[in-house]
Amino acid sequence: MIRIKQGADFDFVGQLTNDKVPYPLAGVTLSADCRSAVYFEFEQHMEITIVDLATALVRIRAVGADTKKWHDGLHLIDVRAVKPDGKVLVSNTVPFEVLQTVTQGA
């Protein structure tokens, strides 16, 4: 499972596949939202970009200033790809854990 501390940058690269076959992402609109699985609250929209179209590799990011506000505990990223005709191609959920910040800066 992916783990991140509050206040750290979230930077994840992963592949969108169906039975190990990359989704055809040409022309799709991507979105990624983060929500707390513990408090059932929306946390934020996340940046999502295509890294490699041929392999359906995507990058999902959020900066530390944003993750500092996230609740600790289990979270879910909802990834969605919509084709130009409006049909939903991908609607996956990826779990990850946010750990409480312990170390304090000077």
Contact 22, 78 (CB under 8 A): no
Q: What is the pLDDT of residue 105?
A: 62
- Chain segment 34-75, per-residue pLDDT in tens: 999 988 899 999 999 999 999 999 999 999 889 999 999 999
Q: Are 67 and 9 spatial neighbours (Cβ–Cβ below 8 Å)? A: yes
The class (CATH top level) of 2-99 is mainly beta
Nearest 10 degrees: Cα torsion 64, 65, 71, 72: 30
Please state the pTM of the whole predicted model.
Answer: 0.88
Is the per-residue pLDDT at 91 higher than 90?
no
Triad 25, 4, 67: Cα angle to 5°: 80
pLDDT category at 77 given cuts 50, 70, 90 is very high
> What was the pLDDT predicted at 101?
85
Nearest in space to 50 (alpha carbons), one of 61, 64, 42, 62: 61
Q: Is the dihedral of CA 59, 65, 68, 70 positive or negative?
A: negative
Whether the predicted pLDDT of 97 surpasses 70: yes
Domain boundaries, the chain: 2-99
